[in-house]
Amino acid sequence: MNSSAFSAALVAAIAATALVAEAAPMTMMTKPLAVTMAAQNGSGETGAAMLRDTARGLVVTVHLKNAKGPQPMHLHKGTCAKLDPKPAYALHNVVNGMSVTTVPGVTIGELRGKFAINAHKSTTDIATYVSCGDVK
């Protein structure tokens, strides 16, 4: 290999290493986290949420049994026992018992121990919580 070809290969290798190093924090995936969703206010709505870090953001997938109609969902600061009523992040409504949302710029590590996922009864009855799960 001549010196100019070697130099070009070296520059390409350094550039590739820099790109990988720069992308590492965004692409380093943590293990998915399961969150148990418990019924609230006699709703009977139970289920689970799965949180997964991806390069595009946090993917939150929720499955609720006994869900009734489109229901707003949010990530709130606090716990199910002591929830900040102001949502921190909106999630897609639960429709037919399911919601899938990608929240850009958020990771499981940032939410763990500080946030809860909750579902509201309906778009017209936001004040009534029907299911909640602490992000532990």
| Greatest extent of the chain over all pairs of C-alpha atoms, in Å | 76
pLDDT for the residue 30: 80
Per residue in 22-47, pLDDT (tens digit) is 343 444 558 999 999 999 999 999 99
Position with higher pLDDT, 54 vs 3: 54
Cα 114 vs. chain centroid, distance in angstroms? 13
pLDDT for the residue 29: 57
Residue 70 has pLDDT above 90, yes or no: yes
Average the pLDDT over 61-70 and give the result. 95
pLDDT for the residue 123: 93
User: What class is the 33-134 domain?
Assistant: mainly beta
Contact 122, 70 (CB under 8 A): yes
Torsion of CA 102, 82, 84, 63, to 10 degrees: 20
**Beta-carbon count within 10 A of 102 CB:** 14
- HSE, CB side, 13 Å, CA atoms: give it for residue 45: 28
Q: What is the pTM of this model?
A: 0.78
Give the start-to-end residue ranges of the domains of the chain.
1-27, 33-134
DSSP single-letter state for residue 106: -
Residue 117 has pLDDT above 50, yes or no: yes
Which pLDDT band, with edges at 50, 70 and 90, does 1 fall under?
low
- Alpha-helix runs per DSSP H in the chain: 3-27, 108-111
